[in-house]
Every structure is written in structure tokens, then in C-alpha cells.
Structure 1
Amino acid sequence: MQFTKEYFQTHKFAFEMLALFCYLGINATINATTELMEDAREVSASFQSWEPFVWEFSSALATLIIFPAIAWFMRKYPWDWQTKKRSAGRFIVAAISYAVIHICLMVAMRELVYLFTESDYQFSSGLGQFLFEFLYELRKDLWSFAFFVALIAIYRYMISQWLGDAQSISNHSVSENDSQKSKSLANILLVKKLGKEFLIKTSNIEWVEACGNYVNLHIGDQIYPMRITLSEFMVKSRRYGLVRVHKSFAVNINWVHFIEPLVSGDGEIVMQSGEKIRLSRRYKVDFETLVTHH
């Protein structure tokens, strides 16, 4: 199996979760064994050998559960230097929310595990200790949130530089939010890739391939990824002659050379470049209707 950009795009979420799972698992194991080694220095053990693993892995599992919400938040509400105060307020609220949810999940998991043992887990024995323990965990979680935000931002930047990321632009000066809200793709797309910026005409897109949360825009022998689902892309690109022909493909009818019917009832679209795209029976009627009225 060859590792390609297209393969990574298709399995991107799986790779990300695997990396996160490995990081949290290794970190939890190191922390748990560190606590055991430090406790071994004492004359008598203050806890049983399995307890540090429950503490650390409950924290790791809680983080694993919440982490996708952090990624979603950063995509939904990216940092905006033009509205620094609003962005800072949002991130502070998000950080505190993460900390509170993480603490609640972590404690709940520990209580559940301890139910099946002869030991008793107490987060605190009084109000004073509760406030101390809560602030102790809150301090750590706020720092963890800041670390995860930085990690996600750096990772996304590196991935966008490696894969490339096509975005709509127009001849007029528009904000990023206005561009995202547009119901149609602009005539020109800007692709940032490996430190360079490419301008491509939307009408020159020959065919489109879905790859996970991306679509790959094919123009000649060049491929330009765009972070958007194929369904969303089709809604925004209809006026450019692009039509869906398969659950994973769409073609520009202006670049179609001919169509070859298949015995199965499907079809095969041959592009002017010689590329062959599958025409599914599910989309065949819509495709033929658009071709007839084009």
C-alpha cells in the first residue's frame, strides 16, 4: 500500500485519532509509573499500584472524548486579530468549559472504577479541600487547553501547506466570513500550497473527487484540495457546469469528451484529458438532464 496525499485525506480522521490516542496513552503511562516510582521512595505505600493508572487514564480518556469539541470550536470560531477582545473572551470561556467538563468526566470515571474495588475514591472530604483540588485541576486543564489549541493550529497550518487549501476569492475585497457565507464559488480560487499562492479559474475545473472532508479539484495533471464536502461543493459550483455523477465524483460537462454506456446500466465518462470517470445509475438522470439543457 502506497501512502499518498489522497490516501491521507481519505483516512485523515483515523490518522488523527490514532496519533492522539497514542500520545495520551503514552503520556498517561509515563505519569502513572512516575507516581509509582515516587511513592516507592516512601517507607510505606500511600496507594495501591493500580490506582495511578486509574487516575491518569481516566484523565486521558476524558481528554480524548472532549478533544474533537476543541477542534470543532477552533474551526467554528477561529482567532480573529481584528476582534481580539471577542476572540479572547470566546477562548477563555472555552478553556474554562473544557476544564470543568474534563474534571467532571475524570472524577465520574474514577468513582465508577472504584465501585468495583474495596477502595474508596474521594475527590475531596470537605469544602476547603474541594476548592483546593478543583483549582489544582483547573490550573492544569487551562494549561492543557492552551497546549491543545497551539498544537491544533500548528498541525492545521502544516497540513494546509502540505496538501494545499483552495478558497474562494473575488475581484472585490471581501472578508473571509463573507466569502464563506457565499452561496456560490467565486470565479477565481486561491490555493495556498508550500509557501506559494496559485490562482485557478473555477470554470477550468475538469472533475472533482471526494476525499474525506476534502474535495480534490482536478485541472489537467494538477490536483488542488479544498476543505469542503462534495455535497456542499456541488451546491456552490452548479453554475459552472459541474454535476455529480457518482457518490465520490463530479464532472464539468464542458470538459466531457464522450459517454460510454456499460452493460450494468452505469456509464463511463471519458474526459477530454482522457480521464475516465464512473457514471452511477443513481445520478445518470440528473446528468443527462443537465447535459440536455446546457
Structure 2
Amino acid sequence: MQLSKEYFQKHKFAFEVLALLCYFSINATINTTTVLMEEAREVNRSFQLWEPFVWEFSSAFATLLLFPLIAWFMRNKPWNWLTIKTSIAGYLLAAILYGMLHIALMVTMREFVYLFTESDYQFSNGMQQLLFEFLYELRKDIWSFCFLVAIIAIYRYLIAQWLGDAQPISNNSGIEDNVSTTESLANILLVKKLGKEFLIKTKNIEWVEACGNYVNLHIDNQIYPMRITMTEFMLKSRNYGLVRVHKSSAVNLNWVHFIEPLSSGDGEIVMQSGTKVRLSRRYKVDFETLIAAQVQLN
């Protein structure tokens, strides 16, 4: 069964959580078995069999809890090659902060688990060893932060290339970095997809559909995803004849062919392309009012 883009968009968060759980669980298991196999070479084992599982999985779950913060940081403070010194300083500071939080979470988890055992967990004995252990873990965490940043950047690039990523082109200042920074959509949108760039006119959008964290723009039987909420999109597209007809869809009045009432009280909008879009009772009155106003203007 082929994974459709629409299905992936709707369940993108679930796919990402599952992938992260699988990766960190497998990585922690491999690290645990490595510790056990190395210790098997010794005549006398210095720890109990369950302890490496606690050590490695506490580290993995601490990383998993901090992963959304890394993604959030990268989205709000994207790397900028034009201000490379500022970017290096910002990401280095973030890496150190990540390392400190990771160590704190990891040690807290271990201490909690050891409360239910007869064993005693000690991160260090004395201030000198505490500093050594802290620097030892921080060194690894900074490198781990760099690795995770690279993975997130590559993942976002590949997803944008696969799904397509529509961005507005400002009439005055070129390509906008973020659609949410503009008061309204520009006349032309730039779509980067599979290594190519497409220019589409906003007025040619036939209908739009909310799909997870995206809004899919339907134009000439093609789908162009834009990372924006449906509510925000409607606020920015009000000048292009787009009207919301359902909590997850809107249509362009200029592309409506006819409306067919349904026995449930809802309606079905048939577009000029033949596409059928559900008209919810919640939006039916407002939609019909706008249609009537459009007719009077014409």
C-alpha cells in the first residue's frame, strides 16, 4: 500500500512520534547490550543486569523529551549563513543548555528508579568527580545536539521537497521567509517541489483543504501544500474570493459551478472541475449570503 501525501499530512505528528520512539528505543537497546557484552569479558560483574537498561533508557527518554524543544528552537531561530557568527553563538548556547537539561533529566530519572531497588545510584562522589562527570556528559550532549539539528534540518528539507512547500512572493521584497509575517497572501506563490520551483497565482486557487498542520491548495488538479493553519489562511486570503464552507475546507466563489442541497441539511458544492466539496450547515447561511451579495454586485 502506497503512502499518500494527504494521509501523511493528516498523521504527520503520529508518524514522527513513532519514528522517534523506534529510533531512541533501538539505540538505547544497542547501547545497553554493548555495555553488557563488554562487561561479560570481566570475571566479576560490577553492576546488576538491569542497571545498564536504566542508564541507557533514561538518557534516551530524556533526549526524547527535549527533542521538541530543539525543533522549536530551529524553527524560531533558523540558521543564517549571512550572520554566521551570531548563528554559531546562538546554537552553541542552545547546545550547552540542552546538555545541562539532558543531564538533569537523566540523573533525575535514574534516581527515581533506584528508589524502588536496594541499590544506590550516585552520579559522582565529591565535587571533583561531579565536575568531571558533568563535563564528560556535556561533551557528548553537545555533539548529540549537533547531530539532532542536522537530522531535523535534513528531514524538513526532504519533507518540503516531497510534499511541496508554497511560500508567498512579495510584490516588493522578493520571497517571504514565513507566510505568517504577511498581512495577506501575495498575488503569486512560489512552490518548491522535487528540486523544481513553480509559480502559481493565488486567484487560481479553486479550493483549499486543511490537512494536519498544512493547508492544501487545489489548482488545476494539482495539490500545493502550505504550512499554515486554516484559520490564519482564511484571514490572509479574504481578498481572493475564498469562502469557508466547512471546518476543514474553503472554496473560491469564482470557481463554483452549482450547489446541491442534501437531506441532512448540509449541501454539496460542485466546482467547475467537477470536484465536490461539502457545505456544512454551520457555514451554509454565511455562504449563501455571500453568494447573494456576489450576484447583486454582478
Q: TM-score range by the shorter chain?
A: over 0.9
In structure 1, the partner of 2:197 is 197
Is the contact made by 1:214 and 1:228 (CA closer than 8 Å) also made in structure 2? yes
1:73-96 per-residue CA deviation (whole Å, 9 max, x = no partner) reads 111111112222222222112111
In structure 2, the partner of 1:268 is 268
In the alignment, the residues of structure 2 paired with residue 265 and residue 88 of structure 1 have an alpha-carbon distance, to the nearest angstrom, of 58
Q: CA deviation at 1:213?
A: 0.8
The AA in structure 2 aligned to 1:58 is S
User: Is 1:90 the equivalent of 2:98?
Assistant: no
In structure 1, the partner of 2:74 is 74
In the alignment, the residues of structure 2 paired with residue 158 and residue 190 of structure 1 have an alpha-carbon distance, to the nearest angstrom, of 17
Consecutive unaligned residues in structure 2, runs of 5 or more: none
In structure 2, the partner of 1:135 is 135
Identity percentage of aligned residues: 75
In the alignment, the residues of structure 2 paired with residue 180 and residue 79 of structure 1 have an alpha-carbon distance, to the nearest angstrom, of 19
3-state SS of paired residue (1:27): helix
C-alpha spacing 1:97/1:188, structure 2 compared with 1 (3 Å) = same
In the alignment, the residues of structure 1 paired with residue 162 and residue 177 of structure 2 have an alpha-carbon distance, to the nearest angstrom, of 24
The AA in structure 2 aligned to 1:247 is K
Is the contact made by 1:169 and 1:179 (CA closer than 8 Å) also made in structure 2? no
Is the contact made by 2:170 and 2:176 (CA closer than 8 Å) also made in structure 1? no
Q: CA deviation at 1:183?
A: 1.1
- Alignment of structure 1 residues 120-269 onto 2, 5 Å: 120-174=120-174, 176-177=176-177, 180-269=180-269
In the alignment, the residues of structure 1 paired with residue 97 and residue 288 of structure 2 have an alpha-carbon distance, to the nearest angstrom, of 52
3-state SS of paired residue (2:246): coil
Q: CA deviation at 1:129?
A: 0.6
**TM-score scaled by structure 2?**
0.95
The AA in structure 1 aligned to 2:150 is A
In structure 1, the partner of 2:116 is 116
Q: CA deviation at 1:179?
A: 5.7
Is the contact made by 2:268 and 2:278 (CA closer than 8 Å) also made in structure 1? yes
3-state SS of paired residue (1:277): strand
The AA in structure 2 aligned to 1:262 is L
The AA in structure 2 aligned to 1:176 is E
1:106-157 per-residue CA deviation (whole Å, 9 max, x = no partner) reads 1000000000000000111111011001001100100000000000111111
The AA in structure 1 aligned to 2:261 is P
Is the contact made by 2:55 and 2:110 (CA closer than 8 Å) also made in structure 1? yes
Q: CA deviation at 1:243?
A: 1.3
Is the contact made by 1:243 and 1:287 (CA closer than 8 Å) also made in structure 2? yes
The AA in structure 2 aligned to 1:125 is N
Q: CA deviation at 1:177?
A: 4.6
In structure 2, the partner of 1:20 is 20
In the alignment, the residues of structure 2 paired with residue 37 and residue 210 of structure 1 have an alpha-carbon distance, to the nearest angstrom, of 50
The AA in structure 1 aligned to 2:23 is Y
The AA in structure 1 aligned to 2:252 is N
- Alignment of structure 1 residues 268-287 onto 2, 5 Å: 268-287=268-287
In the alignment, the residues of structure 2 paired with residue 273 and residue 203 of structure 1 have an alpha-carbon distance, to the nearest angstrom, of 15
In the alignment, the residues of structure 2 paired with residue 289 and residue 142 of structure 1 have an alpha-carbon distance, to the nearest angstrom, of 58
Aligned residues: 294
Consecutive unaligned residues in structure 1, runs of 5 or more: none
In structure 2, the partner of 1:38 is 38
The AA in structure 1 aligned to 2:126 is G
Is the contact made by 2:242 and 2:251 (CA closer than 8 Å) also made in structure 1? yes
In structure 1, the partner of 2:103 is 103
After TM superposition, the structure 1 stretch with the greater mean CA deviation from structure 2, 199-208 or 83-92, is 83-92
3-state SS of paired residue (1:9): helix
**TM-score scaled by structure 1?**
0.96
Q: Aligned-pair RMSD on alpha carbons? A: 1.4
In the alignment, the residues of structure 2 paired with residue 96 and residue 290 of structure 1 have an alpha-carbon distance, to the nearest angstrom, of 55
In the alignment, the residues of structure 2 paired with residue 225 and residue 179 of structure 1 have an alpha-carbon distance, to the nearest angstrom, of 12
The AA in structure 1 aligned to 2:246 is H
